[in-house]
Amino acid sequence: MSVSQKVVLRYPPSLTEKPVVYELVKKYNIMFNILKARFSADDKEGLLVLELSGTNTSLKKGFDYLHKLGVKTELLSQDIVRNENKCVHCGVCSAVCPTNAFYVKSPEMYVTLEMARCIGCEECLKVCPYNAIEISFDIK
């Protein structure tokens, strides 16, 4: 049975040029979706926000592998807050949402958010003309 977890991976500088995620796929049969990434020569670490999918056993082995390499892993919790006082239900957020987490409910023409579909890509934040959407990634 496949399960998914959203995680933050923090890489030490020595690993930022190594194929760490590739090894998760090849050795542990873990699928991944990159939600956010930041790597810079000036940074002290690389940062990846991923959704990892696999069996409980493969995920455990994959996390053990990451820890042995020195990659810090943290579970990710995301919160999207839509300010109902600012939202006019224009639907712009639903037009850019890649997973249809934001969608326009018909016939009411009311924008609805289904959090289970959200991947935290932040596209809705960029396009909302009323600044009615806020997102924060909280590390557990």
| CATH number reported for the structural domain that contains residue 93 in this entry | 3.30.70.20
| Domain that residue 9 falls in | 3-70
Number of domains within the chain: 2
What pTM was computed for the model?
A: 0.57
Whether residues 65 and 85 fall in one domain? no
The per-residue pLDDT for 43 is 60
- In whole angstroms, what is the distance from residue 49 CA to residue 68 CA? 19
In-domain check, residue 49: yes
Whether residues 7 and 65 fall in one domain? yes
Enter the DSSP assignment of 125.
Answer: H
- At 140, the pLDDT band (50, 70, 90 cuts) reads very low
- In whole angstroms, what is the distance from residue 118 CA to residue 99 CA? 7
SS3 61: helix
Domain boundary among 28, 46, 70: 70
The per-residue pLDDT for 132 is 93
- In whole angstroms, what is the distance from residue 34 CA to residue 120 CA? 10
